Structure 1
Amino acid sequence: MKKHWSELSTGRRCTVVVVGIAQLILQGVALRDIAKRTPAQVNGPKAGWVAASFINFFGPLAYFAMGRKKSD
């Protein structure tokens, strides 16, 4: 059953806010890293990784796991 914001307990509201902030921070760090790297330092197109970073936690985590080329 879907609840409205006003129906959530204070603890649940805090959890939603903290998770939302964590998502925004993770996405911001990923976007900053993508912007600082050259295309040669990224696996695949940079624009694709920028778009993927908007997929909740999965996009930024996927970028950090698979999108960056390992430096030698």
Structure 2
Amino acid sequence: MGGRKSWRDMSRRQRITFMAVGTVQMAMLGAAQRSISKTPDAQIRGKKAVWRAVCFINLLGPLSYFVFGRRRDVA
């Protein structure tokens, strides 16, 4: 089984992948937090505070907010 690798033990490709995934994760977190701030309560399913906390769960949090947290059509 693979153990934890230090930065020096990673290949160049692994380092680039690690940085790319981290950048995407931070960008999605920022976009989700901004969306939560700007979106009225009526257009969000559930409480804003809960979605803010959920968004800090790696990539799945912001993805779940964008897929399940926003209402598409508000009458």
- TM-score normalised to structure 2 length: 0.91
Give unpaired runs (5+ residues) of structure 2: none
Paired residue for 2:13?
Answer: 11
Q: Describe the superposition over 1:6-39 as per-residue Cα deviations: whole angstroms up to 9, x where unpaired.
A: 1101110010000000000111111111100111
Measured on the aligned residues, the alpha-carbon RMSD in Å equals: 0.9
Give unpaired runs (5+ residues) of structure 1: none
- TM-score normalised to structure 1 length: 0.94
Question: After the TM superposition, which segments of 4 or more aligned residues of structure 1 sit over 2 Å from their partners?
Answer: none
Paired residue for 1:29?
Answer: 31
Q: Describe the superposition over 1:15-71 as per-residue Cα deviations: whole angstroms up to 9, x where unpaired.
A: 000000000011111111110011111000000000000000110000011100112
The share of aligned pairs that are identical, in percent, is 42
Shift of 1:5: 1.0
Shift of 1:2: 1.5
